[in-house]
Chains A and B, each alone.
Chain A
């Protein structure tokens, strides 16, 4: 079992719709959870992080964490074509500084 799993996609949503990106992780001791966006040929950029169960909102983005189910998600409201990118879920476990990444979900927002 991979440590961090994501559906590779592509996930295709129409402009203005809600995009829902999902991630599961295997280590129950995981403490911090991150969502990165990576445009083709560019470096990953941090868009959200969450530590506690529940929802965390930042503009059009909402991160949701359920530690009991070992599940973290990212909702993007009012999706725009500029949101088309690969979204990487990353998890930190223990005191080490290492982030373990999923393979990413490619999102396509269509006009």
Chain B
């Protein structure tokens, strides 16, 4: 059983389109995250939810909208995709709202390519 699963694994789409990425974790964790990893491998946090409540919202264009229907799921919707959105998007989860106990468990990533 995959602990943190993301779909799709690859996403190729045209500029201007709207797309969604889904994430599910079966670890019983309370907190979930979206990170973006650019071409230089830099991992930057975008959003975090704790028990369906948004607790971290970094400086991200409002074309990006996260949604957490329950604590096991976190989705990311992106409107009006731009070339600069091309990256790998990782979902992660952790126990409690402090990552201090054991860090994060990451999903396998979604490679988004905007053409």
Contacts and interface: CB of A to CB of B under 8 A. Distances in A.
Interface of A: 31-32, 34, 36, 38, 42-46, 49, 51, 86, 88, 90, 92, 95-101, 103-104
B93 to A, nearest CB: 10
Given A42-B108, A43-B108, A103-B40, A98 B100 contact: no
Contacts of B55: 96-97
A31 B101 CA distance: 11
B50 interface: yes
A97 B108 contact: no
A97 B56 contact: yes
Interface of B: 31, 33, 40-45, 48, 50, 55-56, 90, 94, 96-100, 102-109
B41 A104 contact: yes
A36 B92 CA distance: 13
Contacts of A101: 42-44
A88 B43 contact: yes
21 contacts: A34-B99, A38-B41, A43-B90, A43-B108, A44-B43, A44-B90, A44-B106, A46-B102, A49-B100, A92-B99, A92-B100, A95-B98, A97-B33, A97-B56, A97-B94, A98-B45, A99-B45, A99-B103, A99-B104, A100-B45, A101-B42
B102 A49 contact: yes
B76 to A, nearest CB: 16
Contacts of A49: 100, 102-103
Contacts of A104: 41-42
Given A49-B102, A99-B104, A103-B40, A43 B31 contact: no
Given A43-B109, A44-B106, A98 B43 contact: no
A100 B98 CA distance: 13
Given A43-B90, A43-B107, A96-B55, A103 B41 contact: yes
Given A34-B99, A99-B103, A99-B104, 15 more contacts: A31-B100, A36-B103, A43-B109, A45-B106, A49-B103, A88-B43, A92-B98, A97-B33, A97-B50, A97-B55, A97-B96, A97-B97, A100-B45, A103-B41, A104-B41
